[in-house]
Structure 1
Amino acid sequence: MIRHFKLLNKIFNPRFKRSYCFKKDEDIHVQEFINRELKLAKTGHQVLVIQPYIKWGTKKDRLTSPEMKLAESESLINTLRDWKIVDSLKIGMTSYIKHTFFGPGNIDNIALKIKQDQRISAVFISTNILKPIQHKHLENYFKVPVYDRYLIVIQIFREHAVTREAKLQVALAEVPYIWSRIRGIQENYTERLGSEAGQIALSSKMLFDDKKDLLKEYEKKLKKMITKLKSHREHLRNSRKNKNLPVIAVVGYTNTGKTSLVKALTEDLEMLPKDCLFATLDVTVHGGILPSNLKVLYIDTIGFISDIPTKLIEPFVATLEDAMFADIIIHVTDVSHPNVDVQKSHVETTLKNLNVESSLLNSIINVGNKIDLVGNYHKDENCNYISCVKGTGIQELKIKIEEEIIKATGRQILKIRVRTGQKEYEWLRLHTAIMQVETDGDYSIVKVIATKSDLDVFKHLFIYKKSGK
Structure 2
Amino acid sequence: MKGRESRDRSTAVPSTRAYVLHPDIRHEGRRRLPEHGLAEAVSLAAALPDLEVLGAEVVRLPRVHPGMLFGSGKVAELKAKFAELQVELVLVDGPVSPIQQRNLEKEWGLKLLDRTSLILEIFADRARTREGVLQVELAALSYQRSRLVRAWTHLERQRGGFGFVGGPGETQIESDRRAIDDQVIRLKRQLDKVVKTRELHRAARRKVPFPIVALVGYTNAGKSTLFNRATGAEVLAKDMLFATLDPTMRGITLPSGRKIILSDTVGFISDLPTQLVAAFRATLEEVLEADLILHVRDIAHPETNEQAADVAEILQSLGVGPTTPQFEIWNKLDLVDASQREALTVQAETREGVFPVSALTGEGVSRLLDAISAAFDEEKTERLLAVPFTDGRRRAWLHAEGVVLSETPTETGFAVTVRWTARQEKRYRDLG
Q: TM-score range by the shorter chain?
A: 0.7 to 0.9
**How many residues are paired up?**
368
User: What is the CA RMSD across the aligned residues, in angstroms?
Assistant: 2.9
**Equivalent position SS for 1:280:** coil
Matches of 2:297 and 2:37 in 1, distance apart? 18
Counting only pairs closer than 5 Å after superposition, residues 338-357 of structure 1 correspond to structure 2 as 338-357=302-321
Match of 2:213 among 227, 248, 268: 248
Q: Which amino acid aligns with 2:29?
A: K
TM-score by length of 2: 0.79
Q: Which amino acid aligns with 1:66?
A: P
Aligned equivalent of 1:365: 327
Aligned equivalent of 1:289: 253
Structure of higher CA gyration radius:
1
TM-score by length of 1: 0.73
Match of 2:19 among 48, 67, 80: 48
Question: Is the Cα contact below 8 Å between 1:149 and 1:308 reproduced in 2?
Answer: no
Counting only pairs closer than 5 Å after superposition, residues 270-281 of structure 1 correspond to structure 2 as 270-281=234-245
1:122 equivalent to 2:121? Answer: no
Match of 2:376 among 405, 409, 418: 405
Matches of 1:26 and 1:331 in 2, distance apart? 28
Question: Is the Cα contact below 8 Å between 1:136 and 1:186 reproduced in 2?
Answer: no
Q: Which amino acid aligns with 1:398?
A: L
1:60 equivalent to 2:60? Answer: no
Give the Å deviation of 1:406.
2.4
- The runs of 5 or more residues in structure 1 that have no matched partner are 1-17, 33-40, 188-204, 413-450, 460-469
Counting only pairs closer than 5 Å after superposition, residues 314-393 of structure 1 correspond to structure 2 as 314-360=278-324, 363-375=325-337, 376-377=340-341, 378-379=343-344, 380-381=347-348, 382=351, 383-393=354-364
Residue identity (%): 31
Question: Is the Cα contact below 8 Å between 1:248 and 1:327 reproduced in 2?
Answer: yes
Structure 1 residues 50 and 226: alpha-carbon distance in aligned structure 2, compared to 1, 3 A threshold: same
Q: Which amino acid aligns with 2:365?
A: I
Counting only pairs closer than 5 Å after superposition, residues 15-54 of structure 1 correspond to structure 2 as 21=4, 42-54=13-25
Question: Is the Cα contact below 8 Å between 2:138 and 2:184 reproduced in 1?
Answer: yes
**Equivalent position SS for 1:407:** coil
**Equivalent position SS for 2:67:** coil
Give the Å deviation of 1:31.
10
Give the Å deviation of 1:261.
0.8
**Equivalent position SS for 1:276:** coil
Matches of 1:20 and 1:278 in 2, distance apart? 16
Structure 1 residues 27 and 255: alpha-carbon distance in aligned structure 2, compared to 1, 3 A threshold: closer
Counting only pairs closer than 5 Å after superposition, residues 42-441 of structure 1 correspond to structure 2 as 42-55=13-26, 57=27, 59-61=28-30, 63-118=31-86, 120-127=87-94, 129-185=95-151, 207-268=172-233, 270-360=234-324, 363-375=325-337, 376-377=340-341, 378-379=343-344, 380-381=347-348, 382=351, 383-407=354-378
Question: Is the Cα contact below 8 Å between 2:23 and 2:92 reproduced in 1?
Answer: yes
Structure 1 residues 26 and 148: alpha-carbon distance in aligned structure 2, compared to 1, 3 A threshold: closer
Q: Which moved more, 1:143-152 or 1:161-170?
A: 143-152
- The runs of 5 or more residues in structure 2 that have no matched partner are 154-169, 383-398, 408-432
**Equivalent position SS for 2:269:** coil
